Structure 1
């Protein structure tokens, strides 16, 4: 093999490596880094839109829309947007029986465990799958204090989900509908999904204690 042939071969391999990184890296890695200013504004815009929907949408869980002044949130904080390592289940048919707040049950598909660092602690949460939606039902040290005692939900963006990694953005954590209206029943987080840290991100909860709430229909 001549020197010219070797150089052409190396150049070809380099080009293939460049194309792979350029076009396929998104499917093999998840990057939680964001521009703080743009990220904050995008979150605020989404929160404003949700308030508008809660105030006007016919599917809103708010009983008295006339007095609704908007949801309560923690300030946007990129530190609560983390990259998690996924531990998939070898048995893809595993199911999770989830207890509902009205005493009924639903069955979800177990997708994977997400392992990540948050506030200096190593955390592990179960991700469940319902149809094409990947979700985490969780509690943390703010539950029943600054956030809804029945737990909050976190939905994962499939575009930021790979076979080995996922982006968990706790700034998008939200309360179930039963936090605002006892006419809804909502899934309760599994016991293993209690975080050992306070997640001061996402929706807060400032309404009356949940002990007076006994949801009895539909899920949201």
Structure 2
């Protein structure tokens, strides 16, 4: 069983996230701590579409792609870009910076992550709270929601946070960038499963959908 390239995938996604945010910084309102409060819906959707096209190209051509049959790969499927799923979250850091989270992997093994903070935010009229974990310099949220096992992968999806856009008490969560782990596309990979507390009761109709590739 090949270990999931979670960190590699995270770094690739972070590069795309940085691309989004650097694009949005120009001409948009920012808060006192420098986080973007708003985006232009048209340019926002254009930038997301461009990043998704770039990821399809990566999956179709790169040697690090989890796709086995690249010749028949028709591209990933997504919910339509929706700025409403880009939210500012309040961070509640852990007083004890040494706290760890043992994460169960899809192959039965375990990995250990640092507990970074809880992110508290409002989405679809509901107050939500998700645990943010850290592995080296990758800040991630592993989560499930009401679409899991239906429109999206039942094992949950991942959301990366741009380290350069984190402050001591706030962060941007863009669920339009939520993505599936590699084990969705290739059973040779093992992937981290979201902790129980990271199950949202609402449907997050944003980001990557589920489609079988094997």
Q: Return the TM-score normalized by structure 1.
A: 0.81
What residue is the counterpart of 1:100 in the other structure?
105
User: Can you list the C-alpha shifts for 1:32-90, whole angstroms capped at 9, x where unaligned?
Assistant: 41111111111000000000010001111111111100000000000000000000101
User: Of the candidates 26, 42, 47, which is equivalent to residue 42 of structure 1?
Assistant: 47
Task: Tell me if the contact between 2:31 and 2:37 (Cα under 8 Å) persists in the aligned partners.
Answer: no
Matched, 1:135 2:140: yes
Describe how 1:122-201 pairs up with structure 2 within 5 A: 122-201=127-206
Residue in 1 that maps onto 2:23: none
SS at match of 1:153: strand
Partner deviation per Cα, 1:148-178 (whole Å, 9 max, x = no partner) = 0010000001122100100000000000000
Residue by residue, what CA displacement relative to the aligned partner does 1:124-168 show, whole Å, maximum 9, x if unpaired? Answer: 000001111100000000000000001000000112210010000
Greater Rg by CA: 1
The one of 55, 66, 70 equivalent to 2:60 is 55
Q: Find runs of 4+ consecutive structure 1 residues off by over 6 angstroms.
A: none
- 1:31 Cα deviation (Å)? 2.8
* Contact kept in structure 2, 1:32 and 1:81, CA below 8 Å: no
Give the paired residue count. Answer: 185
Aligned match for 2:208, one of 184, 203, 207: 203
Aligned equivalents of 1:129, 1:206: Cα separation in 2? 28
Q: CA deviation at 1:195?
A: 0.6
Contact 1:74 1:202 in 2 (8 A): yes
User: Quick check: 1:153–1:173 contact (8 Å CA) kept in 2?
Assistant: yes
> Where do 5+ consecutive residues of structure 1 fail to align?
1-24, 214-220
Q: CA deviation at 1:26?
A: 6.7
Aligned equivalents of 1:185 and 1:116: distance in 2?
30
| TM-superposed deviation, 1:29 | 4.8
Secondary structure of 2:129 counterpart: strand
Higher relative contact order (CA 8 A, sep 6+): 2
Corresponding position of 2:22? none
Mapped to 2, the partners of 1:27 and 1:103 lie a distance apart of 44
